[in-house]
Amino acid sequence: MTHSIAKLAATTSLAVGLTVSGGVAAQDQAPLQVLATVGMIGDVAQQVAGDCAEVDVLLGPGTDPHYYEATPRAVRALESAELIFYVHPALEERMARVLENFSRRIPTVSLVDATYDQGELLEEEPGVIDPHLWMDVARWSQIAPVIADAIAEQRPGCLDDLEANVVAYQAELSALHEWVEASIGSIPESQRMLVTAHDAFYYYGDAYNITASEAIEGISTEGEASIGDIRSVARFVVDNQVPAVFVETTINPRTIESMVAEANSMGHDVRIGGELYSDALGDADTAEGTYIGMIRSNTEQITHALGGTVAEWPSELEGWAQTWNK
C-alpha cells in the first residue's frame, strides 16, 4: 500500500480516536458506515470498499459544495456515520466548522491533507489552495489507498480485499488518465483553451496540457461575477479566437451566456460547447454519476467542441463501458 495507516493518522487534519462498542468480530462483519461529502470521493470510496463498507454521499448532483450549509438531514447523516471523508475546507467552505465539530467524536478525514504534500497542490494565490484535484485523474487516484487505510483501521479483516480493490481501481484510473491525455492532445494547440464558469479546471489544464486559466469566477463560487469579469473573459475569448466555452452543472449558466453575448457583440462567433461536471457528479444510476463517467463526459465534450478527436476507449475500461452501455 502506498499510504500506511500510520501516515494517515499523522497527516489527517481532523483525526480522532474511535470509541468501540460491541465485540471486534461483530464489528468486522458489519459493513462500515461511510459518509463522503461529495460524489467524487463517494464513488472512489465505494470502488475501494467493496462489501466492507456502505458509502453514502451528502451532496447530490448539481449541488455546489462551496455554498452548501449543513441542513438537519445532513447533520443526521453525519451523526450516523462511522467514518467521514471530505475534500478540504477550501471546497466545503460553509461545512468546515460542522466537520471540525464532528471530528471530535467520529474519524473525519480531509483527503487533501491526508494524501498530498503542500508542494503537490496548486494555489489561486499564496496560501489559498485549489481543492479541485479530481480533475487530474492521476492525482485523484492517490486517494484510493488513503481511503483503504482509513477503512482498514476499523475493519482490519478487510485489509486484503481493500488492497486488491485499490490495485484494480488504480489500474482503471491509469488507463483513464492516458485516454484523457490522448483525447485532449488531439485538439489543435492554438485551440487548446478551456473557458468555464469558475476556476475548477486548473488541475485538468495542468495534467492534460490545455490552458484553463480563464474563468468568470474564481476557485470559490462564493463571490458573484462582475460585469468587468465577464468582459475580461470575453476579450480573452475574442483575442484568442476560442471556438467554444462551457457551462457547469453546479453553476447558473447566465454568466457564461452573458459572456458569449459580449464576445459575439465584439465580432467573434463563440458557442457554448457543452455542460461540464465540475463540483458534482451526474445523476445516480447514470454513467455520469460515476467518477470515470464524469471525466469521460467532460473530456468528450471538450475534445469535440475544441476541434479534437476522442481517443479509442481503453480496453481496461471495457467492463465499465458495458455496465453503462457506453
Summarised one tens digit per residue, pLDDT across range 151-210 is 999 999 999 999 999 999 999 999 999 999 999 999 999 999 999 988 899 999 999 999
Q: How far is CA 214 from the centre of its chain?
A: 19
Together in a domain, 285 and 238: yes
* Complete DSSP assignment for 135-147: GSHHHHTTHHHHH
How confident is residue 28, by pLDDT bands cut at 50, 70 and 90?
low
Together in a domain, 24 and 172: yes
Together in a domain, 273 and 138: no
Q: Looking up cell 462500515, which residue turns up? A: 32
pLDDT digits (tens, 9 = 90+) for 80-104: 999 999 999 999 999 999 999 999 9
In CATH, what number is assigned to the domain containing residue 231? 3.40.50.1980
How confident is residue 65, by pLDDT bands cut at 50, 70 and 90?
very high
pLDDT at residue 197, rounded to an integer: 87
Together in a domain, 13 and 160: yes
pLDDT at residue 223, rounded to an integer: 53
Neighbours of 223 (CB within 10 A): 11
The H or E element containing residue 175 is: helix 159-185
Average pLDDT over residues 48-53: 98
Q: pLDDT exceeding 90 applies to what percent of the chain? A: 80
Q: Give the closest residue to 99 by CA, choosing from 59, 135, 130.
A: 59
Three-state SS annotation for 44-87: HHHHHHHHHEEEEECCCCCCCCCCCCCCHHHHHHHHHCCEEEEC
Together in a domain, 216 and 145: no
Domain boundary residue among 126, 145, 177? 177
How confident is residue 271, by pLDDT bands cut at 50, 70 and 90?
very high
Q: pLDDT exceeding 70 applies to what percent of the chain? A: 89
Residue numbers of the domain that contains 257: 181-323
Q: How far is CA 53 from the centre of its chain?
A: 21
Neighbours of 244 (CB within 10 A): 21
pTM, entire model: 0.89
pLDDT digits (tens, 9 = 90+) for 286-317: 999 999 999 999 999 999 999 999 999 999 99
pLDDT at 24 over 70: no
pLDDT digits (tens, 9 = 90+) for 128-162: 899 999 999 999 999 999 999 999 999 999 999 99
Residues in the chain: 326
Domain boundary residue among 125, 149, 177? 177
Together in a domain, 173 and 185: no
Together in a domain, 197 and 163: no
Query: Which amino acid would we find at residue 124?
Result: E
Together in a domain, 80 and 55: yes
Question: Which distant-in-sequence residues (6+ apart) come within 8 Å of 206 by Cβ?
Answer: 122, 136, 212
- Average per-residue pLDDT for the chain: 89
Together in a domain, 252 and 170: no
Together in a domain, 149 and 215: no
The H or E element containing residue 261 is: helix 254-265
**Number of domains making up the chain:** 2
Domain boundary residue among 111, 145, 177? 177
Query: Which amino acid would we find at residue 16?
Result: V
